[in-house]
Amino acid sequence: MASAWREEQLTIAGLKVQLLHGGQGDPLLVLHGAGGNPGWLQFHETLGQQFHVYAPSHPGFGTSDRPDWMERVHDLAYFYERSVQRLESFLS
C-alpha cells in the first residue's frame, strides 16, 4: 500500500525548512546526504509502511533557507537539535 506523503514548509530556528513527510506509525527522521534531498523515494515509501517518515532538506538545500551563521557541521547539529524540538510540537 502506498503511503500518502506531502511537502510542507516549517519555520525552525528562524529558517524556512522544506519538509517531506508521510507514512504511518512512530516518527522516523531521515536526513539526506551531501547531494541534497532527492525527493520522496522508494525507500521513504518502504519505511512509510511502518513509520511516519520526516525527511527535511538541510539548510541551503531544496527550498530550505541557508543562514549566514551555518558554517560547520557543529552548526548543522545545533540546527537539528532545534528541529527535533520543533517536530515534536508539530506532532502534537
Please provide the distance, in angstroms rounded to a whole number, between the alpha carbons at the two ends of the chain: 26
Q: pTM for this structure? A: 0.86
For β-strands 51-56 and 26-29, DSSP reports them as parallel
Instruction: List the domain boundaries for the chain.
Output: 5-91
19 Cβ contact partners less than 8 Å away, ≥ 6 residues apart: 7, 8, 9, 10, 54, 55, 56, 57
Query: How many whole angstroms separate alpha carbon 57 and alpha carbon 52?
Result: 16
* Whether the predicted pLDDT of 89 surpasses 80: no
Q: Which amino acid does the sequence have at 54?
A: Y
pLDDT confidence of residue 6: 95
What superfamily in CATH does domain 5-91 come from? Answer: Alpha/Beta hydrolase fold, catalytic domain (3.40.50.1820)
Cell numbers found for residue 46: 518502504
H helical segments located in the chain: 42-47, 73-91
- Mean pLDDT on 12-35: 92
Summarised one tens digit per residue, pLDDT across range 24-71 is: 999 999 999 989 999 999 999 999 999 999 999 999 999 999 999 999
